[in-house]
Chains A and B, each alone.
Chain A
C-alpha cells in the first residue's frame, strides 16, 4: 500500500510537469490553431540558455534572464516561421513546427553538445516524509509552480484585456479583427507567453535533477498525449490530462513492468482517441460545407 501511495505521489508530481508543457501547447492552439510540435525543443533551448546565463550571472539573475529570453524566442519564432503561414492548410503548420523542432534541435546540439547540463541547486534537495510516503522537495516545488501557473492563466483569460482578446481570436480571427483586436499582436503574445511557460518548465526540469540536454525532448513528446486526453482547447483539460498521464504512467511502470513507462501515455492516447476523439474537455467541431 505504501508503495502504491508512493507511486501515486511520484506520478502526480511528474504529471504536473507534463501539465505545464501541455499548458503551453494548449495556449498556442487556442489562439492560433497551430499545434506546436516544437514545444519540447523550445523547452530544451531555453533550459540550456538558462544554464549558460546561470553560470554567467549567478542563480537569481540567470533565472530571470532565462525566462526573458524564452519570451523573446517566442516572439522571434512566431514572426519568422508561423506568421507567413496564416491562412495555409493545417498540414503546412504541422510541418512548420516539426521543421522548427529540427532547427532548434540542431542549434542545441551544435551550441551545447549532447552532454547533460545540470542547473545549480537553487531549490534545497532532499525529501520529507508524509506519513509513510517520501515527497521530494524539488518535485513538490515543481508541482506548486505548475498549479500556480495554471491558476494565473485561468485568471488571465477571464479578467485581462489581452486574455479576452486571445479567447476572441481563438473563436474567429476575422470577427476578432473587426471588433478592433490586434490579431497579429495576439499571435505574437501567445507564442511569447507559451515559450515562457516552456522556459519555466525547463527550469523546473533542470531543478528536479534530470538535467537538460538536447536529447531529452522525450518529455515534450509525452506532453502531447496529455494535451489530447484533456482536449486541445481546454486549459483545465491540459492540467488534468498531464496529471492523469503522469499518474497512470507511474502506476503502469511500478506495478506491471518498468518498460511500460515509455508507451503508457501513447496507449492512453490511442484509447482516448478511439472512445472520445476530442478529449475530455475538447470542443466537438461542427463542420458545414
Chain B
C-alpha cells in the first residue's frame, strides 16, 4: 500500500525497506521512543518487552523457514537450547566474552538445524514436522545425558553469568532491555534483507511450488538447507540471549510445547511477513501476561470450598486455553493473521473517504 503520489519507477524502489521520507521519520521516532521507554515505564513492563524481544528473534527465524520457505519445524525450542548451552558453556568454561559467544551460539544452533534439515530433501508436510519433532526430544536428551558433569543435567542445571559487554555487566532489566532491543533490531534488519534478495525470492518460489521452482533452476535442497540454517541461527541467538538473561539453564525450559507456541505466534501474526512474527509474538505474550492478571480474579469468584489450591490449575489451564483458542479462531476467521488485518486498517485509513 503506497501513499498517493508515490510511484515505484525502479525495482530498487519497490523493494526498499523505507519507501518514503515519512517512513524514515516514523522509524526514527520509533527508535527514540524505544530509547526513552525505560524512563517512562516500570521494570515489569520492561521485563515484558524483553520477553517479547527475545521471543521475536526466535519467531522471526521461524518465519523465514515456515512463512517464506514453506517448511515446517517443530524443533525451534530445541535449537534455542543448543544456542543457550553453547553460549553458556563458552562463557563459563572457555572464558569467551559474551559478544563472541553470541555468534558462536548462533552458528552451533545453525549446524544442529542443518542436520535436522537434511530430511527436508525428501520429506514434506507432516513427515518433515515429524523429523523436527524428533529434534525437540533428542537434543534435550543429549544435553541431559551425554555430559551431565558439564551441562549440569536437569538438576542442578547450568548457571550462566549475565552478559558482559566491554566491562558493562547487563544485570538489570533496563540494561538487558537495551541489549535485547539492539540485537533484535539488527536481526530484524538482516531478516528483512534476506527476504528481499535472491535467497528470499528463491525461498518464496520453493514455498509456492517446489517442483516449479526446481524447473526454474533453483537448487531446492540448497535453499531448503539455507532456510533451516537461518532459522536455527536465529533460534540460537535468541536462546543465548534468553539464557544470559535468566542466568539458569535447564533442558526442561526448552520443550516441544514452546516450539508449538512459536509456530502459533507466527500463524497468528500472519505467515510471510517479518512484521507478522513480531505482531504475533507481541499478541501472545501480552495475552499470556493478561492471563496472570485475570486468573486470580477468576479464582476469587469461585465458591469458598473450591478455592484452596485450585488457582494454579485455573492459571495454567487458562493460559493453554487462551493460546489454543486464539490459534483456532485466527485460523478460521483471519487465516492471514494480524499483519493482514493491520494492512487493511492502514489502507482504509489512508484512503479514508473512499475506503468502503
Q: Which residues of A line the B interface, CB within 8 A?
A: 29, 35, 81, 84-85, 88, 90-92, 94-96, 98-111, 113-114, 221, 224-225, 228, 232, 257, 259, 262-263, 266-267, 269-270, 273-274, 277-278, 287, 289
Could you jot down 18 A-B contacts, CB within 8 Å? A35-B129, A92-B331, A95-B263, A95-B267, A101-B324, A102-B324, A103-B328, A106-B320, A109-B316, A257-B145, A259-B144, A259-B145, A266-B137, A267-B138, A269-B134, A270-B138, A273-B123, A277-B122
Q: How many angstroms from the CA of A37 to the CA of B337 in the assembled complex?
A: 22
> What is the minimal beta-carbon distance from B254 to any residue of chain A, in angstroms?
15
> What is the minimal beta-carbon distance from A49 to any residue of chain B, in angstroms?
16
> What is the minimal beta-carbon distance from A222 to any residue of chain B, in angstroms?
10
Q: How many angstroms from the CA of A262 to the CA of B337 in the assembled complex?
A: 36
- Check A100 against B324 for contact (C-beta < 8 Å): yes
Given contacts A94-B126, A269-B130, 8 further A-B contacts (CB under 8 A): A81-B328, A91-B70, A95-B267, A103-B321, A105-B324, A114-B316, A273-B134, A277-B122
- Pick from B4-12, B86-94, B209-217 the stretch touching chain A: B209-217
Q: Which residues of A contact B130 (CB under 8 A)?
A: 224-225, 228, 269, 273
Q: Which residues of A contact B45 (CB under 8 A)?
A: none
Q: Does B256 contact A (CB under 8 A)?
A: yes
- Check A278 against B324 for contact (C-beta < 8 Å): no
- Check B145 against A103 for contact (C-beta < 8 Å): no
- B167-207 contacts to A, CB under 8 A, are none
Q: Does B103 contact A (CB under 8 A)?
A: no
Which residue on A lies nearest to B327, using beta carbons? Answer: A99
Q: Which residues of B contact A90 (CB under 8 A)?
A: 125-126
Q: Which residues of A contact B97 (CB under 8 A)?
A: none
Q: Which residues of B contact A105 (CB under 8 A)?
A: 317, 320, 324
Known contacts A273-B130, A289-B211; is-contact A106 B267 (Cβ 8 Å) = no
> What is the minimal beta-carbon distance from B66 to any residue of chain A, in angstroms?
7
Q: Which residues of A contact B108 (CB under 8 A)?
A: none
Which residue on B lies nearest to A89, using beta carbons? Answer: B70
- Check B320 against A277 for contact (C-beta < 8 Å): no
Q: How many angstroms from the CA of A111 to the CA of B313 in the assembled complex?
A: 9
Q: Which residues of B contact A88 (CB under 8 A)?
A: 331, 335
10 closest A-B pairs by CB: A102-B324, A106-B321, A99-B327, A106-B320, A109-B317, A110-B317, A103-B324, A266-B134, A35-B126, A99-B328
Q: Does B314 contact A (CB under 8 A)?
A: yes
> What is the minimal beta-carbon distance from A156 to any residue of chain B, in angstroms?
24
> What is the minimal beta-carbon distance from A66 to any residue of chain B, in angstroms?
21
> Which of A91, A108, A114, A228 has a CB less than 8 Å from the CB of B72?
A91
> What is the minimal beta-carbon distance from A274 to any residue of chain B, in angstroms?
6
Which residue on A lies nearest to B215, using beta carbons? Answer: A289
- Check A228 against B137 for contact (C-beta < 8 Å): no
- Check B215 against A92 for contact (C-beta < 8 Å): no
Q: How many angstroms from the CA of A221 to the CA of B271 in the assembled complex?
A: 26
- Check B141 against A263 for contact (C-beta < 8 Å): yes
> Which of B131, B314, B318 has a CB less than 8 Å from the CB of A273?
B131
Q: Which residues of B contact A113 (CB under 8 A)?
A: 310, 313
Most buried by B among A35, A106, A267: A106
